[in-house]
Amino acid sequence: MEAFLHQVLAGLATGGIYASLALALVMIYQATHLVNFAQGEMAMVSTYIAWSLINAGMPYWPAFLLTVGISFVMGVVIERVVIRPVENAPVLGVVTVFIALLVILNSVTGWIYTYTIKSFPSPFPKEMALGRYMSPHELGAIGITLVVLLALYVFFRFTPLGLAMRAAAQNPVSSRLVGIRVGWMLALGWGLAAAVGAVAGMMVAPIVYLDPNMMGGILLYAFAAALVGGIDSPMGAVIGGFTVGVLENVLGFVIGNELKLSVALVLIIGVLLFKPSGFFGKVHVTRV
């Protein structure tokens, strides 16, 4: 029982990370109706930036904040330079660009930093805080995730800029007619998604270690989370993230760690087969 509880709590910690990354996916999906396959690699690059800053002697938290800022700018620049030119291209073309971005980010990082696995520091103390159930890093990661999610909620729900971004994602034509610069709202969305991804990367790196392929499995779980919640529902992505995290850990505990990643795939296929709109997404009905 104790071991089981430990798995659930650890699941919540990784679940928070999946939730953040799933939210980043949903943010870009809502604005462009496309899934950004490079989201994980962008987070990985951010984590390497943080690693470089910390290795250069910067204390953890300033490095953390600076990384989030740099990642935001990186997201905006990627949208402006790489995504904008293919804005009106066919879906398959854009998907190819996303995958190219994934491969480029992955190999450039490998080229600069090598593929050797590096350890990444946690800002939280080493000794166990919650007795045997949870490490301080897991508890801290959940805390940070919740702060990020709350900040995003407040931003989108209560600020004029957040409102404009939601409007631009839903109805670009009407948004232009009230003077919103829709192109910049999209770029801002990419920036925010990259910043959220950066936090997820820095929180997961102490657990999975730092290497250019670190986000592969995690992005798969984030996809599963976004699909379980419904790819167009931010709230669903968050709930989906925590659900997938717990399921993954508990099932891994029951059926063995080797099959963990399959859980994500089974979830993805299961949701797509039986409930394509996810549990919180909108069902789209089209008249023909």
Query: Could you list the residues that contact other proteins (CB under 8 A)?
Result: 160, 163-164, 166-167, 170-171, 173-182
Residue recorded with tokens 């993954």: 248
CB 242 within 8 A of CB 258: no
Measured from the CB atom, the residue of 178 and 273 that comes closer to other proteins is 178
CA-based torsion, 222, 228, 231, 233: positive or negative: negative
Q: Minimum distance from CB of 175 to other proteins (Å)?
A: 8
Q: Which is nearer to other proteins, 77 or 167 (CB)?
A: 167
Q: How far is CA 4 from CA 9, 10, 53, 208, in A?
A: 9, 10, 38, 21
Smallest gap from Cβ 172 to other proteins, in A, equals 10
> Cβ distance 20 to 148 under 8 Å?
yes
The structure tokens listed for 254 are 């029951």
Q: How far is the CB of 72 from other proteins (least distance, A)?
A: 22
The smaller minimum CB distance to other proteins, of residues 171 and 277, is found at 171
In angstroms, what is the minimal distance from the CB of 140 to other proteins? 35
Closer by beta carbon to other proteins, 3 or else 178: 178
> Least CB distance from residue 24 to other proteins, whole Å?
21
| CA distance from start to end of the chain | 54
Question: Closest approach of Cβ 164 to other proteins, in Å?
Answer: 6
Q: Which is nearer to other proteins, 107 or 174 (CB)?
A: 174
Q: Which is nearer to other proteins, 179 or 256 (CB)?
A: 179
Sequential DSSP letters for 88-140: TS-HHHHHHHHHHHHHHHHHHHHHHH-S--B----SS-SS-SSTTS--HHHHH
DSSP per residue, 175-216? HHHTT--HHHHHHHHHHHHHHHHHHHHHHHHHHH-B-TTTHH
